[in-house]
Amino acid sequence: MTKPLSLETILGKLSDDDETWVLQDELSGKYVIIPDDRFPGRRPMRFFLSRQDAESVLWEVLKVNSMLRQARISPVKVQTKKAIASIAMDRTPDHADAFVIHSPNEVFEFVLERGGSYPL
């Protein structure tokens, strides 16, 4: 398993203007947490480099999770540095306690592994 970078290292590499996309329920304001076998016991927030990548993952998640189909989840642009710092400071049990920034290649592989199609 790859050793995660320290929070200070990550925040130091980001500018205040960097933006990414996350998945958020429009009604409750809650963010979608997608478990990851690479990080057992963690609740990672997923950051995507494009709206299209976020939508592709959302589509795959909705195919397998019928409860989430009732929600109004959509991609939302966030200031990455601020969002990551917020995750690090929030100790609420149901909130994210980790984060992953996904490259377009990771999203492409994720979607294809599940038999989905990735819009080009």
Q: Where are the beta strands (DSSP E) in the chain?
A: 19-25, 44-48, 73-79, 98-102
Structure confidence by residue, pLDDT tens digits, 5-58: 788 888 888 899 999 999 999 988 888 888 878 888 888 889 999 999 999 889
Is 116 a residue whose pLDDT tops 70?
Answer: no
Beta carbons within 8 Å of 50's beta carbon, 6+ residues apart? 21, 104
Q: What is the pLDDT of residues 52-105, one digit of tens each?
A: 999 988 988 888 888 888 889 999 999 999 998 888 888 777 788 888 888 888
Q: CA torsion angle for 19, 23, 26, 31 (degrees, to 10)? A: -100
Whole-prediction pTM value? 0.82
Closest CA to 80 of 19, 33, 31: 19
Token pair listed for 14:
């980001």
Strands 44-48 and 98-102, sheet pairing: parallel
Residue 118 in this model has a pLDDT that exceeds 60 = no
Q: What is the rounded distance in angstroms from the CA atom of residue 106 to the CA atom of residue 98?
A: 18
